[in-house]
Structure 1
Amino acid sequence: MKNTYKLTEGAILLAIFAVLLLITLYIPGLGMIVNLFLALPFMMFGAKHDWKSTAVFTVAAVLLSMILGTFLAMPLALAYGTTGAVMGYMMREGKTRFASYIAGSLVFLINLVAQYALSIVLFKMNFIEEMVEIFRASVDQAINMLEQMGQTPDEKLISQFDAMVDMIEVLVPSMFVMASFFIVFLLQLVSFPFLKRFGVKVPHWQPFRELNLPKSILWYYLITMIAALALQPEKGTYWFWVISNLSFILQMLMVLQGIAFVFYLTYVKDYPKAVPIIVIVLMFLLPFVLYIVRILGIIDLGFDLRKRLGEKK
């Protein structure tokens, strides 16, 4: 009886996945939204059944994707399927929401990197290089248009554009990491309310103001900064690539710590709740605000600013 229920539930969830996949593949506008729900059937099945059954369900979904779509459908099924299955398993084991988030993000990242590598090896397609070339061509076209109109392009501005394009190529690994963590955050955001409605015990997020990164990250950050100053690697070298990506990721973590501190300060001092939102918006508009928030994150992590502020009365 238990196996019959499991098979029935699996068949229903596979049917739901098939509908979601077809919409994602063949209805472009709506598909961009619906693809965020592709992991939901896997989360639901994984949260209720053992890992062996979840693995079989995931394999069945991948095979079904090959029948319904093309080989382009299989990477979608693999990425969202394995990510959803792992997060479902973490919920079944009673892990925290943060642990589920980290596990899901790492699995999605592995899928992203593996599929990027396979696209280069098997199909000779490098979408990052193509994107960069398109951007370079757009810049060249804009320069040519200005010259035809009798205007002289600003050399400083052109060099800044070139430097930005070069940095995009260098920071590909960092972009993969950020994209994976952002996408999995969205997956949890849209999927967990549905899981609750269907009786799945969903772990809660701790308040963002309580986010406190491990102190070891500060040491990694300082070591990376010292290495960058000491080695001063040339562009195009392996060490330039490593240090640039480590610096970028660690700086973003310091900014995250700084934002969490702003939320904590707002809570403790009873400031208006709009304050942290305004700070986040200003970070995107004014670069110096971003630097201030990052410095706050470094100080908070290194000197326990929150303990000095004390608990809210």
Structure 2
Amino acid sequence: MINVKRLTEGAVLLAVFAVLLLITLYVPLLGMIITFFIGVPFILFAAKNDGKITLVFVIASLFLSLIVGSIMSVPLALAYGTTGAVMGYFIRLNKSRFTILLSGTFVFLLNLIIIYTASIVLFKIDMIGEMIDMMQESMNTSAELLKNFGSAEETERAMNQFKEGLKLVKTLIPTLFVIASFFIVFIIQLVSFPMLKRFGIQAEKWKSFKDIRLPKSLLWYFLGILLVSMFANPEEGTYLFAAIVNLTYILQFLMVLQGLTFLFYYFDKKGISKAIAITIVIVSFIIPIFLYIIGILGIIDLGFDLRKGYDRKK
């Protein structure tokens, strides 16, 4: 009876997955939104079944993606399927939401790396490289037109800045993959967890944003990377240079996150409206200098545990 029930649930969820995949593939605008729901059937199934049966479910979804789509739809099914399955597995183990978020981010990131590498090695297609080349060609065309309306010196300066920006984008591809994976999995959590409750699956509630604290060890990693970049002084274009730049940006992002959580914590303790804190966050993304200030605040909070000192005074 149990096997029949599992088979029925699996068949229904696979059918839901097939519909979501079809919409994603063939309905452009709506498909962009539906993409975030593709992992939901996998989360539901994995949260209620053991790892072996979930693996069979994921494999079945890959064959189904070949039928309803094409070979190009398999990476999409694999990325969202494995991510959803891992998230559901950790829900079944009653792990915290932050642990589920990190595990899902890691799996999705791994899929992105595999898909990107496979597209280059097997199909000789570098989507990011081609996009950057198109931007470069577009800028060269624009530069020729601008020479007729402005000074050659100003045009040359703008072109150099643009080229440096493109070089930085190429270097920061790993960081972009990490940040994209984090936000995609975060959105998947937002849309899927309310659905889980309707099916009787309970997941631990999110901690309040103000109560989130990153590991103190991140501060030492950050300081270590800064020291390596100062003393090693790697040549631009080397693997060491790329590694240092990417780690620096990722750790800076985490320091900003820590600073934002402290900002919300402080405002809450002072009884200041959250609307002001949210406004500061929005303004900080518009005016980058505020992000640096918030990042410094995050570093100080990690290093000196400002919250503990504040609570002690209370």
Q: TM-score range by the shorter chain?
A: over 0.9
2:116 maps to 116
Q: C-alpha displacement at 1:255, in angstroms?
A: 0.5
Amino acid corresponding to residue 99 of structure 2 in structure 1: A
1:38 maps to 38
2:184 maps to 183
- The question of whether the paired residues in 2 share the 8 Å contact of 1:212 and 1:257 is answered with yes
1:40-77 deviation per Cα after TM superposition (whole angstroms, max 9, x unaligned): 00000001111111111110001100111111110011
Q: What secondary structure sits across from 2:122 in the alignment?
A: helix
Amino acid corresponding to residue 263 of structure 2 in structure 1: V
- The question of whether the paired residues in 1 share the 8 Å contact of 2:143 and 2:155 is answered with no
Instruction: Give the alignment of 1:228-243 within 5 angstroms.
Output: 228-243=229-244
Structure 2 unmatched ranges of 5 or more: none
Matched residues in 2 for 1:47 and 1:41: separation?
10
Matched residues in 1 for 2:133 and 2:76: separation?
26
Matched residues in 2 for 1:307 and 1:20: separation?
47
TM, length-normalised to structure 1:
0.97
Amino acid corresponding to residue 38 of structure 2 in structure 1: L
Matched residues in 2 for 1:222 and 1:154: separation?
39
1:194 maps to 195
Instruction: Give the alignment of 1:221-260 within 5 angstroms.
Output: 221-260=222-261
Q: Does 1:3 align with 2:3?
A: yes
- The question of whether the paired residues in 2 share the 8 Å contact of 1:21 and 1:38 is answered with yes
Q: C-alpha displacement at 1:156, in angstroms?
A: 3.0
Instruction: Give the alignment of 1:122-161 within 5 angstroms.
Output: 122-149=122-149, 151-152=151-152, 153-161=154-162
1:20 maps to 20
Matched residues in 1 for 2:23 and 2:42: separation?
17
- The question of whether the paired residues in 1 share the 8 Å contact of 2:147 and 2:155 is answered with no
Matched residues in 1 for 2:109 and 2:87: separation?
14
* Aligned Cα root-mean-square deviation (Å): 1.3
Q: C-alpha displacement at 1:301, in angstroms?
A: 0.2
Q: What secondary structure sits across from 2:174 in the alignment?
A: helix
Q: C-alpha displacement at 1:232, in angstroms?
A: 1.7
1:85-108 deviation per Cα after TM superposition (whole angstroms, max 9, x unaligned): 111111111111111111111111
Q: What secondary structure sits across from 1:206 in the alignment?
A: coil
Structure 1 unmatched ranges of 5 or more: none
Q: C-alpha displacement at 1:287, in angstroms?
A: 1.8
Matched residues in 1 for 2:136 and 2:284: separation?
27
Larger mean CA deviation between 217-226 and 194-203 belongs to 194-203
1:217 maps to 218
- The question of whether the paired residues in 2 share the 8 Å contact of 1:87 and 1:103 is answered with yes
Amino acid corresponding to residue 123 of structure 1 in structure 2: F
- The question of whether the paired residues in 1 share the 8 Å contact of 2:42 and 2:81 is answered with yes
- The question of whether the paired residues in 2 share the 8 Å contact of 1:268 and 1:311 is answered with no
Q: C-alpha displacement at 1:231, in angstroms?
A: 1.8
Q: What secondary structure sits across from 1:123 in the alignment?
A: coil
Q: C-alpha displacement at 1:158, in angstroms?
A: 2.3
- The question of whether the paired residues in 2 share the 8 Å contact of 1:268 and 1:312 is answered with no
1:216-237 deviation per Cα after TM superposition (whole angstroms, max 9, x unaligned): 1100100111111112222111
Equivalent residues, number: 313
1:307 maps to 308
Q: C-alpha displacement at 1:149, in angstroms?
A: 3.4
Q: C-alpha displacement at 1:298, in angstroms?
A: 0.3
